[in-house]
Amino acid sequence: MKLFEDKISSAASRVRIALALKGLGVERETIGILGADAINRTPEYLHVNPQGLVPALLTDEGVLLTQSLAIIEYLDERYREPPLLPEKLEDRAFARAVALAIAADIHPLLPPRVTARLGTIPGAGPQEIADWSRHWIRVGLTAVEELLARRQTGRYAAGDAPSMADICLFPQAVNAERAGLALDQWPRIAAVVAGLRAIPAFAENGPAPRT
């Protein structure tokens, strides 16, 4: 397998964490997601992935998979151990809901291509863009904290083993801290993330800072 990624992408970070949890080694290629048109689409990469986004995973059979959560579900269905979703249906739904509360309600409002577009609106300077990002992280992590308060049953977000929920939470929490938001305003998230930092698959595969 070959992973196309960017070190700063939290979506790519999710797939790196999932691969590490499964103990799967893969070839890696870094694709820059900053630069012209907010995505540095080389012709070579566009040939592989017309969308130009990361992450993308090329399987051993030569099938290109895109979208971090679709890739993680694929890895979980193909390589069963350790499972990245709990066993009970309601618990699986909860883990996926936490994952999506981040991957669909927070992260899509923050990537370079979105903030770059925001910056084309007259009146949207660096301060407004930073406020925009912090607003959605704050609203979104508050929602995640409420989800955890309602149903968290173990030491991680969705049970006593790391799941897809933690895989999405960890990179977002790292980026929240970089955006100047202290995690202790969300005590359950802070406790889960502290636990995840002790797991090498997470600690070694977070998103790199934008330089």
Interface residues toward its own copies, by CB under 8 A: 50-51, 53, 59, 61, 63-67, 69-71, 73-74, 77-78, 89-90, 92-94, 96-97, 99-101, 103-105, 107-109, 114, 117-118, 121-124, 128, 132, 135, 143, 146-147, 149-150
Residue pair 137/146 in contact by the 8 Å Cβ criterion: no
Packing angle of the helix pair 187-197, 126-151 (nearest 10 deg): 90
Q: Which is nearer to its own copies, 134 or 197 (CB)?
A: 134
Closest CA to 5 of 23, 36, 26, 21: 26
- Please report how close the Cβ of residue 41 comes to its own copies at its closest, in angstroms: 12
DSSP state, residue 179: T
Q: Which is nearer to its own copies, 139 or 203 (CB)?
A: 139
DSSP state, residue 211: -
Q: Which is nearer to its own copies, 185 or 200 (CB)?
A: 185
Q: Which is nearer to its own copies, 62 or 198 (CB)?
A: 62
Q: Which is nearer to its own copies, 108 or 180 (CB)?
A: 108
- Please report how close the Cβ of residue 210 comes to its own copies at its closest, in angstroms: 20
- Please report how close the Cβ of residue 200 comes to its own copies at its closest, in angstroms: 26
Beta bridge partners of 66: 56
- Please report how close the Cβ of residue 204 comes to its own copies at its closest, in angstroms: 25
Residue pair 183/193 in contact by the 8 Å Cβ criterion: yes
Q: Which tokens belong to 197?
A: 């930092």
Residue pair 194/99 in contact by the 8 Å Cβ criterion: no
Tokens 């202790």 belong to 184
- Please report how close the Cβ of residue 116 comes to its own copies at its closest, in angstroms: 12
